[in-house]
Copies of this chain bind each other. A is one copy, B any other.
């Protein structure tokens, strides 16, 4: 692999991915709206660019074989603020990818594309979208966009519906939804090294006993997570009291996003650290 472009390189997940990606290609170009990232690898180059501006992000994709597209606002904000980075940004990546002959795009989708399904329903990768926020709606938009570019333009894409990618599970919900850093790296690696992916959707969840997702339609990807949030269960459950079953934030896959008002950050309101 000659060149990979990573967007969102300064974000929490971008930080985890930079090293492993650098090891998979001749040249890694890391990009972000932030003005730098620390500790560049030898074969890594950083380019500051605004995803929402084609004149900035477009040229970054020149000669790239694959793009790992993790750049976006990772929160719920008013629609007007999300449109640029989360909607137009996706369009720009695929459109620039088409112009520059990119073979494949690996995209950080999210559980919030499916957040309004009840937790007692196991969700697979072929059910219709049920977004919980504008944030989730942008993920739905990008998945549909990616499918269209595959079917019309032959650009492959893998859409990783990342659930709770945190350093350790933070609450009872995360006993099912946690995605460890190692498993994230494995997931992105499989999305890159599998020879044929076409248009593939896959959930990003560790091998948790309580994992509520069904990746069987993405079996060809070979993602087999190793970590298991259950080791944290005794500690976390000891702190968990009865829940309010009338609260969609409790009963739906989207968690706090499912109960949040559209356009209002649930994370800011509740003091919860970034969830996916």
Evaluate whether A250 and B118 lie within 8 angstroms (CB atoms) in the complex, with A154-B245, A221-B210 already known.
no
Across-interface contacts of A151 in B (CB, < 8 A): 116, 130, 132
Q: A130-B151, A147-B129, A219-B214 are in contact. Are A193 and B251 (CB under 8 A)?
A: no
Please, what's the 1-or-0 string for A181-210, where 1 marks a CB less than 8 Å from any CB in chain B? 000000000000111111110000000111
Interface residues of A in 237-268 (CB under 8 A from B): 237, 240, 242-243, 245, 250-251, 261-262
Copies of this chain assembled into the complex:
6
Which B residues are CB-close (under 8 A) to A220? 119-120, 122, 176, 210, 212
Which residues of B have CB within 8 Å of A178? none
Q: Which residue of B lies closest to A213 (CB)?
A: B219
B262 touches A198 (CB 8 A): no
Interface hub of A127, A136, A151, A221 (most chain B Cβ within 10 A):
A151
For A136, the closest partner residue in chain B by CB is: B148
Stretch at the interface among A10-18, A30-38, A137-145, A161-169: A137-145
Query: In the bound complex, how far is the Cα of B120 from the Cα of A116, in angstroms?
Result: 17
* Residues A120 and B262 in contact in the complex (CB < 8 Å), given A137-B141, A147-B131, A208-B222: no
Residues of chain B lying within 8 A (CB to CB) of residue A196? 119-120, 243, 245, 250-251
Number of interface residues of A (CB under 8 A): 75
A103 at the interface (CB under 8 A from B): yes
Beyond A87-B87, A175-B222: 8 further Cβ-contacts under 8 Å?
Answer: A79-B95, A120-B196, A120-B220, A137-B141, A148-B262, A193-B237, A195-B240, A196-B251
Residues of A whose CB lies within 8 Å of any CB of B are 65, 79, 83, 87-88, 91, 95, 103, 116, 118-122, 126-133, 136-137, 140-141, 144-145, 147-149, 151-154, 156, 172-173, 175-176, 193-200, 208-214, 216-224, 230, 233, 237, 240, 242-243, 245, 250-251, 261-262
A-B contact pairs, 17 of them (CB 8 A): A79-B95, A119-B196, A119-B220, A120-B196, A120-B197, A127-B128, A131-B147, A131-B148, A132-B152, A137-B141, A137-B148, A141-B144, A152-B262, A172-B195, A176-B222, A208-B222, A209-B224
